[in-house]
Amino acid sequence: MRHAGIPAGVHVLLERDGKVLLMRRAGTGFFDGLYSLPGGHVEEGESLRATAIREMAEEVGVVLAEADLAVVGVVHRRSDTNRIDFFLAARCWQGEPRIAEPDKCDALQWFSRSALPDTIVPYVRDALAAGPGPWIQESGWR
């Protein structure tokens, strides 16, 4: 029996001064108007860390090094399809985060974990509440 692949995504936590960077999605057709962590889909032949490095450069214009990334959690979620999302924390980065893809993001802001916006992707809110990790969660399977 042939098994379909499960789309995988990577989300990256940048934290400074006790706050996490969130971006508001816009123009993508997926969770538009909601805040989320920067990140994106793992491409064919790409590692989790390579995805994080590429996506962070594309979306918020910062440079990451593989050695500065740690996997902190995983969410297996049911959405439009069966999905796996990996959450990585960056210990440090180069550059000041900015909106690098204005066609996909219309706001970028630092939030305290205790004061996240009401308009946040639900599984991202749950992931941020899970703490420093490592952890694994399931979402949308009930």
Q: Structure tokens of 46?
A: 């790409």
67 within 8 A of 130, measured Cβ to Cβ: no
104 within 8 A of 59, measured Cβ to Cβ: yes
pLDDT of residue 3: 56
Strands (E) across 26-129 are located at 35-36, 39-41, 69-78, 82-90, 105-112
pLDDT of residue 142: 73
pLDDT tens digits for range 94-117: 999 999 999 999 999 999 999 999
Q: Which parts of the chain register pLDDT below 50? A: none
Q: Residue ranges per domain, the chain?
A: 8-132
pLDDT of residue 63: 98
Architecture category of domain 8-132 in CATH:
Alpha-Beta Complex (3.90)
Query: Is the pTM here over 0.85, yes or no?
Result: yes
pLDDT of residue 126: 93
pLDDT of residue 78: 85
